[in-house]
Amino acid sequence: MQTNFSPEQLADPHVAESEKILRNCVHCGFCTATCPTYVLLGNELDSPRGRIYLIKDMLEAGRPADREIVTHIDRCLSCLACMTTCPSGVHYMHLVDHARAHIEKTFRRRLPDRLVRALLAFVLPHPGRFRAALKLARFGRPFAGLFERTALKPLAAMLRLAPKTVPPASPASRPGVHAASGPRRGRVALLTGCAQSVLDPAINEATISLLNRLGVEVAVPEGEGCCGALVHHMGREHAALEAARRNVDAWMRVADNDGLDAIVITASGCGTTIKDYGFMLRLDPAYAEKAARVSALAKDVTEYLAALDLPEPQNRPGLTVAYHSACSMQHGQKISLQPRELLSRAGFNVREPREGHLCCGSAGTYNMLQPEISARLRDRKVKNIEATGAALVATGNIGCITQIASAARMPVVHTVQLLDWAYGGRKPEGIA
Ligand code: SF4
Ligand code: SF4
């Protein structure tokens, strides 16, 4: 694609990066076929190619974002299916991240939108605040219908997604070291995360228990926290970079003092962002190198397990499992085979739902900020999953677990919980 940026504009490294990305796009439109919003809405401006044109236009003109571009960029799930499909290697993720930061700086949203976004950014990345908010949600739930009819519609979606009971805080989320059983064959740091540690602490418990039994020591470093993905996708660049720097410091302290083979991540949405820390902090001389090291160490738990020499499983539950590949897993991190192979090897009969490339509509805060599109994608996903005839669903991202579980009639668990069970750990709750 031909671009027309001035030398002054290209002096801004963010614009220069976006210009490079834009020039790779050859307008072929292959990406439209796999874009969930184009598939649903059929509008070119809700396709990757349409959004790329809108972003190009805005950046070239050097003008503030307007309502039209905000509408179409807000509808983008950042699912990155377009990146998997694109034959020209267009890095849509970095382009849309830049566009979102530009929108945040130059566009004034309506007051209710500003309030909802500020609330999400204040609550979700902080486990203590998130836990308190979930407990308060039961008082707000009767008003969900009322919010539905106002400009505060996202609040209704939040209340509907909030679980009725909140599990107690788990010791697995506290800083400390979980020693390997028997001879040590590895040492990793575990990102305990923000929302996942509150919604389903059993995921980190299963991860620690499985890794320890396989001879891997697990450190939960002091000072680590939310990866920053939630605010990053809202264009809040400053908050996202602060979260990234805090985590880089926490992990580098452990890596430099005691050594680390990997930083293990159990939420693929977080994994995609942490693997991008090297890019996000490339312009910060104090952090660029450390952030690149962190990105190189970051591994999804299934990626790490697949590289270990696993023993024979102790239990072979023989259940049929529909594997839902989260977008951040298959498109963001290009991890497709490992989770399926690990589950098969552990004795599960793995089924592939149709349209596996399409997002379930969770996408970070998307299911709260764009509830209608999100619900349509969820229902389509659940229909495809149920058509497999599987007894349960396995996936590797807490957002997808919450989203699919809100409509599916079968248990939805994290892949690592099934692996932990097969290799001698606890049976996940909810499985008959
Ligand atoms: S990230 Fe997903 S929703 Fe956004 S343009 Fe690409 S395919 Fe479409
Ligand atoms: S597939 Fe790639 S090159 Fe083709 S229009 Fe989409 S982003 Fe551009």
Please report, for the domain that includes residue 35, its CATH number: 1.10.1060.10
Q: What is the mean pLDDT of residues 393-398?
A: 98
The CATH number that applies at residue 386 is 3.40.50
For residues 50 and 87, state if they share a domain.
yes
Q: Is residue 165 very low, low, confident or very high in pLDDT (cuts 50, 70, 90)? A: confident
For residues 212 and 299, state if they share a domain.
yes
Mean pLDDT of the chain: 95
- Is the C-beta atom of 25 inside 6 A of ligand 2? yes
Q: What is the mean pLDDT of residues 228-250?
A: 97
Q: Which residues contact 323 (CB under 8 A, 6 or more apart)?
A: 339, 340, 343, 350, 351, 352, 393, 394, 395, 415
- Is the C-beta atom of 50 inside 6 A of ligand 2? no
For residues 278 and 257, state if they share a domain.
yes
Q: Is residue 258 very low, low, confident or very high in pLDDT (cuts 50, 70, 90)? A: confident
CA distance 182 to 397: 30
**Residue 312 in domain:** no
**Residue 2 in domain:** no
For residues 130 and 60, state if they share a domain.
no
- Strands laid side by side in the 186-191 sheet: 176-178, 216-220, 186-191, 262-265, 298-300
Q: Is residue 138 very low, low, confident or very high in pLDDT (cuts 50, 70, 90)? A: confident
> What percentage of the chain carries pLDDT values higher than 90?
89
Locate the ligand 2 atom nearest the alpha carbon of residue 24 and give its number: 3
For residues 124 and 94, state if they share a domain.
no
Q: Is residue 105 very low, low, confident or very high in pLDDT (cuts 50, 70, 90)? A: very high
**Does 432 have pLDDT greater than 80?**
no
Q: What is the pLDDT of residue 146?
A: 81
Q: What is the pLDDT of residue 151?
A: 76
Amino acid 150 reads: T
Residue whose CA is closest, atom 3 of ligand 2?
Answer: 25
**Does 26 have pLDDT greater than 90?**
yes
**Does 21 have pLDDT greater than 80?**
yes
Locate the ligand 2 atom nearest the alpha carbon of residue 32 and give its number: 6
CA distance 194 to 190: 12
**Residue 166 in domain:** no
For residues 181 and 231, state if they share a domain.
yes
- Is the C-beta atom of 48 inside 6 A of ligand 2? yes
For residues 182 and 58, state if they share a domain.
no
**Residue 270 in domain:** yes
Among 79-83, 86-90, 212-216, 256-260, whose mean pLDDT is lowest? Answer: 256-260
User: In a mutational test of the pocket of ligand 2, which residue from 21, 49, 79, 85 has the highest number of ligand atoms less than 8 Å from its CB?
Assistant: 49
Locate the ligand 2 atom nearest the alpha carbon of residue 27 and give its number: 5
Which range marks the domain in which residue 244 is found?
Answer: 171-306
For residues 372 and 291, state if they share a domain.
no
Report if pTM > 0.75: yes
CA distance 121 to 77: 17
Q: How many domains does the chain have?
A: 4
**Residue 429 in domain:** no
**Residue 431 in domain:** no
For residues 61 and 32, state if they share a domain.
yes
- Is the C-beta atom of 401 inside 6 A of ligand 2? no
For residues 220 and 302, state if they share a domain.
yes
CA distance 193 to 365: 15
Ligand (nearest to CA of 53): 2
For residues 418 and 375, state if they share a domain.
yes
Q: Is residue 205 very low, low, confident or very high in pLDDT (cuts 50, 70, 90)? A: very high
Q: Calculate Rg over the CA atoms of the chain.
A: 21
CA distance 54 to 100: 12
- Is the C-beta atom of 49 inside 6 A of ligand 1? no
Q: What is the pLDDT of residue 192?
A: 92
Q: Is residue 160 very low, low, confident or very high in pLDDT (cuts 50, 70, 90)? A: confident
Q: Is residue 158 very low, low, confident or very high in pLDDT (cuts 50, 70, 90)? A: confident
Summarize pLDDT for 217-227 with one digit per residue, the tens: 999 999 999 99
Asked which of 81, 106, 131 is the last residue of a domain, the reply is 106
**Residue 223 in domain:** yes
For residues 204 and 259, state if they share a domain.
yes
CA distance 289 to 278: 7
**Does 157 have pLDDT greater than 90?**
no
**Residue 255 in domain:** yes
